[in-house]
C-alpha cells in the first residue's frame, strides 16, 4: 500500500475562518512534507517533519501552522488566510534518510480563500 | 539548497513519436524521482532513480549522478502521456519547473 490520504479534497474558506488540512499514511514513513502548488508552477516545499519533529520551515507565514501528532498523521492549520493563498496543497511521505527514500504524494487539497 | 532545472519547458509531439526530458541538478543527490502530474493534480510516481537506468514499459530513465543529470525517455508516445513531468531531488524533494508535454493524435 503506497497510499497517502488527504482530506478534504476541496475547501473554500473565508479570510477570517480557521480550518485544517489533514494527511495520513500507514506505510511506516517517518518523513512527511507539505507543499503548495499554484497553477502552472511546480510544487513549492513548505514544511518537512522528520520523526515527528519539524526539520524544515521554508519561511512560511505564521498563518500556516503545521502539526505532526504522530508518525502517521500530518495536519496543516490555517488561520487568517489571504486570497493569494488559494492553491493546491500537497502532502507527501517517505522513508527515513539512509534507506530507499522514495516519496509518495496524496491527491491534494484544492483550497480557495474568499 | 540544491537547484533543479528541467528542459525543455514545453514539448509538443505527434502520437507515436519518442521524446527525451532532461533534469539537471546543482549538487550530488541521494534521491532523484520523476513524476507525472495528471490534470487533477495527482503526482504519479514514475521512477525513483538516484543512479543507473530503469525501464517501465514505454518509459525509461537514466541518472548519471557524477555528471549531475537525469533523463526520462518516452517512446511511442500516446495522448494519455500528456501532462506535466517533474523531477525532484534529495530528501527535501526540491522540484524542477517541469516539462509540459502535449501529445497530439
Pick from A56, A100, A110: which is nearest to B92 by CB?
A56
Rounded-to-integer distance, Cα B46 and Cα B72, Å: 9
Gap from B12 CA to chain A (nearest CA, Å): 17
Q: Digits of tens for pLDDT over chain A (114 positions)?
A: 679 999 999 999 999 999 999 999 999 999 999 999 999 999 999 999 999 999 999 999 999 999 999 999 999 999 999 999 999 999 999 997 776 889 999 999 999 999
Report CB contact under 8 Å: B93, A92.
Answer: yes
Which fold does the domain B4-104 belong to in CATH?
Immunoglobulin-like (2.60.40)
Nearest residue of chain A to residue B44 (CA atoms) = A105
CB neighbour list of residue A78: distance below 8 Å, 6 or more residues apart: A13, A17, A18, A19, A20, A21, A63, A64, A65, A85, A111
Q: Where are the domains of chain B?
A: 4-104
DSSP state for residue A54 in the 8-state scheme:
E
Report CB contact under 8 Å: A88, B41.
Answer: yes
pLDDT in tens, B29-60: 889 999 999 988 999 999 999 999 999 999 99
CA angle B75, B5, A33 (to 5 degrees): 95
Amino acid at each position: 500500500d503506497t497510499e497517502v490520504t488527504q482530506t478534504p479534497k476541496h475547501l473554500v474558506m473565508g479570510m477570517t475562518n480557521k480550518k485544517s488540512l489533514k494527511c495520513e499514511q500507514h506505510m511506516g514513513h517517518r518523513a512527511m512534507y507539505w507543499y503548495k502548488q499554484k497553477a502552472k508552477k511546480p510544487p513549492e516545499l513548505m514544511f518537512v517533519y522528520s520523526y515527528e519533529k519539524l526539520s524544515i520551515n521554508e519561511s512560511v507565514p505564521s498563518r500556516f501552522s503545521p502539526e505532526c501528532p504522530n508518525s502517521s498523521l500530518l495536519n496543516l492549520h490555517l488561520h487568517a488566510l489571504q486570497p493569494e493563498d488559494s492553491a493546491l496543497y500537497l502532502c507527501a511521505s517517505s522513508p527515513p534518510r539512509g534507506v530507499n527514500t522514495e516519496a509518495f504524494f496524496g491527491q491534494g487539497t484544492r483550497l480557495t480563500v474568499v | 539548497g540544491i537547484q533543479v532545472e528541467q528542459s525543455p519547458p514545453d514539448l509538443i509531439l505527434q502520437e507515436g513519436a519518442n521524446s527525451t526530458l532532461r533534469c539537471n541538478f546543482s549538487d550530488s543527490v541521494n534521491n532523484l524521482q520523476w513524476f507525472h502530474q495528471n490534470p487533477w493534480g495527482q503526482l504519479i510516481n514514475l521512477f525513483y532513480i538516484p543512479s543507473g537506468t530503469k525501464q517501465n514499459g514505454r518509459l525509461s530513465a537514466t541518472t548519471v549522478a557524477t555528471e549531475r543529470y537525469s533523463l526520462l525517455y518516452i517512446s511511442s508516445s500516446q495522448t494519455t502521456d500528456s501532462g506535466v513531468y517533474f523531477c525532484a531531488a534529495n530528501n527535501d524533494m526540491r522540484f524542477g519547473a517541469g516539462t509540459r508535454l502535449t501529445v497530439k493524435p
